[in-house]
Structure 1
Amino acid sequence: MVEHIPVMINEVVEHLKQIPVPRVIVDATLGLGGYAESILTQFPDVLLIGVDRDEQALSMARDRLAAFGDRVHYYLVPFSRLVSVLEKEKVTPDGVVFDLGVSNLQLSLPERGFSFQQDGPLDMRMESSKEVEGLRASDVVNTFSEKDLADIFWKYGEERYSRRIASGIVRYRKENGQISTTAQLVEAIRASLPAPVQRKMGGHPARKVFQALRIFVNNELVELEEGLQAAIEKVADKGVIIVVSYHSLEDRIVKYAMRDWKNEGKGIILTRHPLIPTEKEIEENYKARSAKFRAFMREVDMEEDS
């Protein structure tokens, strides 16, 4: 059983309680159903629309949430397609919740290729179905130029040694052939960096490269921008949009989106500064250590008055 502890769930519930009469909540990143279970329990009259692009996660969430019956509607789509989901449902959501990043399920299964700590095929696609076509991480590291690899590692991983690592990967694949597993990629990264540099990196030397590849392969930042746009277009008056992010690239997009919404008169930012987990929560759930929580309330009257 994959351990799944929802991050900052108390803050999520408390901010949803600011909605006058919550009827429909969208969990735009359903995952294993941790947020959904708490929301459905805390708000017994709510219909929850659960969206996820990972078929494996959606199946496990169905099992977890089975007791809630038809109070949950499930959609196997990326959250950039929220508009079409809501149009099909013919509902206006009172709240939309995003829990970004990679899930414990994806990290814990070596065959998904997300983890630099377990050996598996170098995949990283969030769509788990075998029938889904799409760029794999192995396609990127084996066919992209040194410059393109360096750009990806810098742009999506903020990796300061991006050029050195890209050069090392190109050299590794010339000397050893295709890089087809996560362990081979880690080996190539380690071989490209002197030991003193690795010691200064403050974490696993492959961490930022794996993050960058995952974001690039899954087009995560564009997905986020489109998901946020769908949320602000569709959420009800006095509805709340909540985002929990885990790295600066995501948080920056959320911060600027909410600032723009405020400046356009679409509502108010409920979190003047991002909320962060308590020390107790971080002790109990290590994944929470880098989380940042932001929330926004839609106010139609403000836009009409402006």
Structure 2
Amino acid sequence: MMQNKTKEHVSVFLNELVSLLPVIKDSWYIDATLGSGGHTQEILSQGGKVVAFDWDDAAINRAKTQFSSELNGKRLFLVHEPFSKLKEAVKFLQNQGIPSLFSGVIFDFGTSTEQLMSEERGFSFRGSGVLDMRMDVRLAVMAKDIIAAVPAKQLAQLFRDFGGELEADRIAKAIKSSPEPIETTKQLADLVISVKHKKAGSLHPATKVFQALRIAVNSELTEIQLALPQALSLLLPGSKLLCASFHEGEDRLAKHYFQIWEEQGKGTRLSKKPMMPSDDEIISNPRSRSAKLRGFIKK
């Protein structure tokens, strides 16, 4: 019996993603972003089987307890790797009865509530942890290392490209001229608050800077570029690739690939415009306010 331990984190588009697949009993699916296990749990509860990926060892360790019976029954396989290694991992697992093609692939990009709530992970501007931000602790470079090593001009460009930060130059110059090295989340958040002109609105002033650093540390957009073509190649004809994104860079990549694939005759988009969260979902799960959902059906 599955234990529901996902109360702290609410998966965005949970019902939409799983119903759009849809789940066929005893068919295999890939959850490319396991996180707190919400999508994997729903697929399993409807009789599907799952290969779930996550490069965060905390997510993998939680899932080992959460889904112990499904793991023992070989209805679920966990892969502690980034989703850029989809094909490599599937090939490795085929000697354990995993198929070469799947009935659906789900991506839910972004951070989980558990990651944001953990001060020592350094993802959140609320708290005072080390500026780490690594999804995978096996990665060598932390956010504090980027801040220390990258010149102001390139740092500002990073904030603009990955965060859409309008005051990127001012923030980057303040970081590089700081008398003390910026090594904690509180130091960085306080600095951004002190130098930004525009502080009104619902977003914390440091939101975009933190997002940009997280994307850079984890090479998130490169990961998506590598993973989406692999995901398409792992789909059975008529099956769906579904992507929930949370910022413009992620959504732009999904849109680009789906449009190109449609032009190449590899399948069709579910719709030209992304699906947006309902008002009810935004109220019950504020994290969903910036979410977009796109899908592609393989020919």
After TM superposition, the score normalised by the length of structure 2 is: 0.92
Distance in 2 of aligned mates of 1:118 and 1:22: 44
Pairwise CA RMSD of aligned residues? 1.6
Given the superposition, is the C-alpha separation of residues 56 and 21 from structure 1 closer, same or farther in structure 2, using an over 3 Å criterion? closer
- Say which structure is richer in helix: 1
Pairwise CA distance, 1:152: 0.5
The answer for the alignment partner of 1:65 in structure 2 is 67
SS at match of 1:89: helix
| Residue matched to 1:84 | 88
Report how far residue 123 of structure 1 moved: 0.3
**Alpha-carbon contact 2:160-2:166 (below 8 Å) kept:** yes
Residue 271 (structure 1) shift: 2.6
Point out the more displaced range, 183-192 or 142-151: 183-192
- Residue of structure 2 equivalent to 1:184: 187
Q: How does 1:79-228 map to 2 (within 5 A)?
A: 79-90=83-94, 91=99, 92-128=101-137, 132-172=138-178, 175=179, 177-194=180-197, 197-199=198-200, 202-228=202-228
Give 1:287 shift: 1.1
SS of the residue corresponding to residue 259 of structure 1 reads helix
2:39 equivalent among 35, 58, 63:
35
Partner residue of 2:55 out of 48, 53, 62? 53
Following the alignment from structure 2 to structure 1, what is the Cα–Cα distance between the partners of residues 79 and 252? 27
CA displacement at 1:133 relative to structure 2: 4.1
Q: Which residue of 2 aligns with 1:247?
A: 247
Asked whether the 8 Å contact 1:20–1:238 carries over to 2, the reply is no
Aligned amino acid, residue 254 of structure 2: V
Contact 1:32 1:58 in 2 (8 A): no
Cα distance in 1, alignment partners of residues 262 and 213 from structure 2: 33
Question: How many residues get paired?
Answer: 287
Unpaired stretches in structure 2, ≥5 consecutive residues: none
Which TM-score applies when normalising by structure 1? Answer: 0.90
Query: What's the % identity of the aligned pairs?
Result: 36
